[in-house]
């Protein structure tokens, strides 16, 4: 729910942002998949260098407390592209396997308006390259949702290599033997048509993005580069694996290689923007869709607690960077909580594009705050995934599961959520519970049932909904 203050800030910032350039800015979202908070250099990884992401952070603003709207993939993407809580559309859970996606009423509802649809009347050309995961049925294709170009796959996961990929290798997650697949789990699509391409998938998607920038340099564009790296399966090529010969753990070595490929792809995109003289006319946002699943033994959310699917910090606090030369401060560390729902209203303000009047965003335009504005973008942030729920308000974070599991943390003093303070602060618990209930009562019920995965955190075994 956008506050009146944030609404006024949006209106105030939009003309300023537009007046500083003759053309509307290009808008780029680069999304990693299942990336842990501690798995890239600029967020503290000791052994996985990410020079291009590090450079992006130096040239822009890095968020220490950047959140996503859900701890699993598909609902997180709904919120990112709408600027609204995914629960408003009943999109509370992942769908499951593609066969189930086609059976249940899965997908972002057709009545929901997403970012490329908002930008199209202003002359933007939009493309998505990579993982869609927002519906596989007729009427749910990216072309039906405002995108002009699409190369990638519709379901929630895919192979990075095939037996025809030069240097392709694979690491097992649970110890069983795995063979390199003869073909990808799901066909790649160019537009609406399947096509075959055996290149390493991360490289392929980056090259499509670079080509799109070159072809559209004379008009404003929205590029949604939705990598499926570094999601499982753990697959890479020797080109990247050879950089990490010193990492003994084969799963972590594979993840390091996959991250290096991702970083190289981001570097290629940033280089193309510079080569085409579009760097100063382009806002770039990088983030992950949720935290990493530490159960794979490959990645880490250090120093955070928890993992993907949980509403501890490790499931929902992610690497989050925003760059717009001359418009967003360079080298800034922003410590107020922000969320992926902020991207749509921030982009629209930058482009001086008015959203349809019927849409009330649950995100804030961040431009005034990043440029010295007082206050915080959000009074509180809420999460709900079946029995799992959380709320952050200031330094306080409440995590609950069902009716008999309540944990309260002071994130200023305890980023790792190690010390439960609920017994010592009953008034804070009551306040946060009341705020969460009031918010939840305004949301729709889930449109399809959840699946489950048992996750153990700090000795607590809970069946988190996916």
Of 52, 70, 73, 141, the catalytic one is 73
Count of other CB atoms within 10 angstroms of residue 181? 17
- Which residue among the candidates 52, 70, 91, 133 is catalytic per the annotation? 133
What the block records as the tokens of 332 is 């800034």
Tally of residues, the chain: 466
70 is a catalytic site residue: no
Concerning whether 186 is annotated as a catalytic residue, the answer is no
> Which positions are annotated as active-site residues?
73, 133
């Amino acid at each position: 729910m956008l506050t009146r203050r944030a609404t006024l800030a949006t209106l105030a910032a939009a003309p300023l942002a537009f007046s500083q350039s003759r053309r509307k800015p290009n808008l780029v979202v680069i999304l990693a998949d299942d990336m842990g908070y501690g798995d890239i250099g600029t967020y503290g990884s000791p052994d996985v260098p990410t020079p291009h992401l590090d450079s992006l952070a130096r040239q822009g603003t890095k968020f220490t407390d950047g959140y996503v709207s859900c701890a699993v993939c598909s609902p997180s993407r709904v919120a990112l592209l709408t600027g609204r809580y995914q629960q408003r559309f009943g999109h509370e859970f992942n769908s499951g396997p593609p066969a189930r996606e086609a059976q249940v009423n899965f997908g972002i509802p057709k009545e929901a308006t997403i970012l490329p649809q908002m930008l199209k009347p202003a002359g933007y050309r939009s493309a998505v390259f990579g993982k869609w995961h927002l519906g596989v049925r007729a009427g749910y294709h990216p072309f039906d949702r405002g995108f002009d170009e699409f190369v990638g796959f519709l379901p929630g996961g895919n192979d990075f290599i095939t037996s025809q990929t030069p240097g392709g290798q694979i690491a097992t997650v649970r110890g069983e033997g795995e063979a390199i697949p003869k073909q990808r789990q799901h066909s790649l699509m160019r537009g609406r048509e399947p096509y075959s391409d055996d290149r390493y998938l991360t490289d392929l998607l980056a090259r499509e993005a670079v080509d799109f920038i070159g072809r559209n340099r004379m008009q404003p564009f929205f590029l949604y580069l939705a990598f499926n790296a570094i999601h499982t399966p753990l697959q890479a090529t020797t080109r990247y694996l050879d950089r990490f010969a010193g990492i003994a753990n084969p799963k972590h070595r594979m993840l390091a290689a996959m991250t290096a490929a991702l970083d190289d792809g981001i570097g290629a995109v940033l280089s193309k923007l510079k080569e085409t003289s579009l760097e100063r006319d382009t806002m770039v946002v990088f983030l992950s869709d949720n935290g990493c699943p530490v159960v794979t033994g490959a990645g880490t959310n250090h120093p955070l607690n928890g993992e993907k699917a949980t509403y501890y910090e490790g499931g929902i606090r992610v690497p989050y960077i925003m760059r717009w030369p001359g418009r967003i401060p360079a080298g800034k560390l922003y410590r107020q909580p922000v969320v992926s729902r902020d991207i749509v209203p921030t982009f629209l303000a930058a482009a001086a594009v008015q959203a349809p009047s019927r849409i009330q965003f649950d995100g804030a335009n961040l431009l005034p705050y990043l440029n010295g504005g007082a206050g915080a973008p959000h009074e509180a942030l809420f999460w709900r995934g079946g029995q799992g729920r959380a709320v952050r308000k200031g330094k306080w974070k409440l995590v609950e599961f069902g009716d008999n599991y309540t944990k309260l943390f002071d994130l200023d003093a305890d980023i790792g959520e190690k010390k439960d303070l609920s017994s010592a602060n009953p008034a804070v618990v009551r306040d946060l519970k009341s705020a969460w209930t009031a918010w939840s009562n305004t949301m729709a019920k889930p449109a399809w049932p959840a699946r489950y995965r048992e996750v153990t955190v700090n000795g607590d075994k809970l069946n988190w909904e996916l």
